[in-house]
Every structure is written in C-alpha cells, then in structure tokens.
C-alpha cells in the first residue's frame, strides 16, 4: 500500500576528536608511484617509487622502495634505493640498501648488504663542502664545531 523509497545508508558523523594513529599495510600486490606520507605506522610488502615519511616503517623481504625514507623508526628487510634517515634503524639480513644512511641508533644483522655511507644524524661537523669563489675555482672548506 504505502511504498517507501529506500534511503541511502547514513555514514557516521565525523568526530571532532581525532582518532589515534593506526597501522597501514601495503600488500605485496600493491605498487605505488608517488610519495607516501602517513601519521601512522606503515608496513610495506609491495613496491613504492617515491619518498616515504611515517612514524614507523616495517619493510617486508620482497618489498622494494625507490626513493628517500624519513622515519622515526624502521625495520628494513627488502630493497631500498635511496637515502634513509631514521631515529632507530634495524637492517635485517635480507635487506639490500643502495644509498646513504643517517641514523641515531643502528642495528645491522650479518648478511645485510649496504652500498652507501653511514652517518650519525647531526654529525656533519668537519664534513667537507665545496664553495665557488670569484675565480670560478672550487674552494674546499671545512665546517668547524664553532661555526
């Protein structure tokens, strides 16, 4: 007799209080071209061509990252082609890294392959830099602890 039109489902209202950061997973069948930024922890089993910035990163053995990685903590088991900047970094035996690594705390398992330089973050004192003088010739200068 009386027909009601079906109503679309209502979505829950957004809370004004932000939810606590969660855990995001990019599966082995996922490939992303572009930068990835996450406020949460990130687990990557797929392939990413782009820079990654997140709180904590866990990389699976079959994963490949081509780009810079900037995290508070990371546990790397796959391939990374790019610079890594991490507070606490663990490089597992299955990892293969091609790029410079900047860290606060570092653990490397025997068997891990790293083709790059290691440096403690903020320890750029006495690092040589090239500057151009008016003559066009490069001038080698050293930064000192007082400058």
pLDDT tens-place values along the chain, 147 residues long: 566 665 655 544 444 344 446 888 999 999 999 999 998 899 999 999 999 999 999 999 999 999 999 999 999 999 999 999 999 999 999 999 999 999 999 999 999 999 999 999 876 534 444 334 444 444 333 444 444
pTM above 0.85, yes or no: no
6 in a domain, yes or no?
A: no
> Per the structure, how many domains does the chain have?
1
7 in a domain, yes or no?
A: no
Report the percentage of the chain scoring pLDDT > 70: 69
129 in a domain, yes or no?
A: no
72 in a domain, yes or no?
A: yes
17 in a domain, yes or no?
A: no
Boundaries of domain holding 50: 23-120
107 in a domain, yes or no?
A: yes
34 in a domain, yes or no?
A: yes
8-state DSSP, 5: P
60 in a domain, yes or no?
A: yes
106-127: per-residue pLDDT in tens?
999 999 999 999 999 876 534 4
What's the rounded Cα separation, in Å, for the pair 11 and 33?
A: 31
CA distances, 31 to each of 38, 63, 79, 87 (Å): 16, 10, 14, 26
Pairing relation of β-strands 52-59 and 69-76? Answer: parallel
């Amino acid at each position: 007799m009386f027909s009601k039109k079906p109503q679309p489902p209502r979505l829950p209202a957004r809370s004004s209080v932000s939810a606590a950061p969660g855990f995001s997973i990019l599966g082995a069948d996922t490939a992303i071209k572009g930068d990835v930024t996450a406020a949460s922890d990130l687990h990557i089993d797929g392939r990413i061509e782009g820079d990654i910035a997140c709180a904590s990163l866990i990389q699976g053995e079959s994963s490949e990252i081509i780009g810079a990685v900037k995290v508070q903590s990371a546990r790397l088991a796959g391939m990374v082609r790019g610079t890594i900047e991490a507070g606490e970094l663990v490089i597992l035996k299955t990892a293969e890294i091609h790029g410079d690594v900047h860290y606060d705390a570092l653990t490397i398992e025997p068997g891990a392959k790293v083709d790059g330089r290691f440096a403690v973050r903020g320890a750029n004192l006495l690092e040589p830099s090239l500057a151009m003088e008016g003559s066009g010739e490069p001038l080698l200068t050293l930064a000192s602890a007082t400058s």
